[in-house]
Structure 1
């Protein structure tokens, strides 16, 4: 680009009619049904009740259901929220250190979603503890990636 001042920024405005919903959908989004999510929810709950939070957190952050419908995402999020709220505050830092970069990004998405819904706002102190440990461990880079990613949990 020789003259960046002449870029037509209206071409990128979603209200201009030039972009449709398919243009805004992330590529390679695998569609996930509720029947595929139910076994994972039961695995999450059994790991959390047995106190194996490390494997529960690995399960939560490895393959989130980006392509599911909103009701399925909500049911899965409720299970994720129950796992996150059962962890003792002293264990959070060790669990966060075990996560990879991609897993931390997924965890940040769930933390932001938790802070935006009433069920999560009731557990706001715990979610903020998770957020604090993530930012202490990884900095603000996961937050920036969350803000720029179009895939939602």
Structure 2
């Protein structure tokens, strides 16, 4: 008899569906190009330029370009960094209170990503203020969800 520890028991189960390559593709939509993302970046920057940071942050955190290539994601990241660094310290808590659960999670992703690039490291104090106020307001839940999420910004 064969070594029973090496038997693939899933092969004998007709209901065990084998994962195909198509099953492992990300659930989000098709590839997003920079041209498709430009209107959103412009809208985000114009809201920030007019002083409406609450709207700018909500636009930035809604529907992030998960399926874009790295260059497109980087351009969007720079626009998000620009908005986050323009917000005054005392307005951060107000803006955080307006974010949905998904937007909080996306914000954590962008804060970590911004802190990992040289442009964001120059603005480290502001990003850490965002991070501090986010954890004071919502606890470690957004961080835990960030660590377990496979989608990257």
Normalising by the smaller structure, the TM-score range is: 0.7 to 0.9
Partner of 2:89: 89
Partner of 1:79: 79
Structure 1 position 36 matched with structure 2 position 50: no
Which consecutive residues of structure 1, in runs of 5 or more, have no partner in the other structure?
1-7, 9-18
Q: With structure 2 as the length reference, what TM-score do the two structures score?
A: 0.83
Rounded Cα–Cα distance in structure 1 between residues aligned with 2:147 and 2:73:
19
What is the CA distance between 1:23 and its match in structure 2?
6.8
What is the CA distance between 1:29 and its match in structure 2?
4.0
Which consecutive residues of structure 2, in runs of 5 or more, have no partner in the other structure?
1-7, 9-18
Rg larger for: 2
Aligned length: 137
Partner of 2:134: 134
- From the superposition, tell whether residues 21 and 150 of structure 1 become closer, same or farther in structure 2 (CA, over 3 Å): farther
Whether contact under 8 Å (1:25, 1:150) holds in the other structure is no
Q: With structure 1 as the length reference, what TM-score do the two structures score?
A: 0.83
Rounded Cα–Cα distance in structure 2 between residues aligned with 1:127 and 1:102:
19
Q: Secondary structure at the match of 2:150?
A: coil
Provide, for residues 47-97 of structure 1, a one-character-per-residue CA deviation record: whole Å limited to 9, x for no partner: 111100011011011110100000000001100000000000010011001
What is the CA distance between 1:123 and its match in structure 2?
0.4
What is the CA distance between 1:44 and its match in structure 2?
0.9
Partner of 1:51: 51
Partner of 1:63: 63
Whether contact under 8 Å (2:28, 2:67) holds in the other structure is no
Whether contact under 8 Å (1:30, 1:66) holds in the other structure is no
Partner of 1:108: 108
Rounded Cα–Cα distance in structure 2 between residues aligned with 1:111 and 1:68:
19
Q: Secondary structure at the match of 2:64?
A: coil
Q: Secondary structure at the match of 1:26?
A: coil
Provide, for residues 98-137 of structure 1, a one-character-per-residue CA deviation record: whole Å limited to 9, x for no partner: 1011110000000000111111011000000000111111
What is the CA distance between 1:21 and its match in structure 2?
8.1
Q: Secondary structure at the match of 2:76?
A: helix
Rounded Cα–Cα distance in structure 2 between residues aligned with 1:38 and 1:51:
20
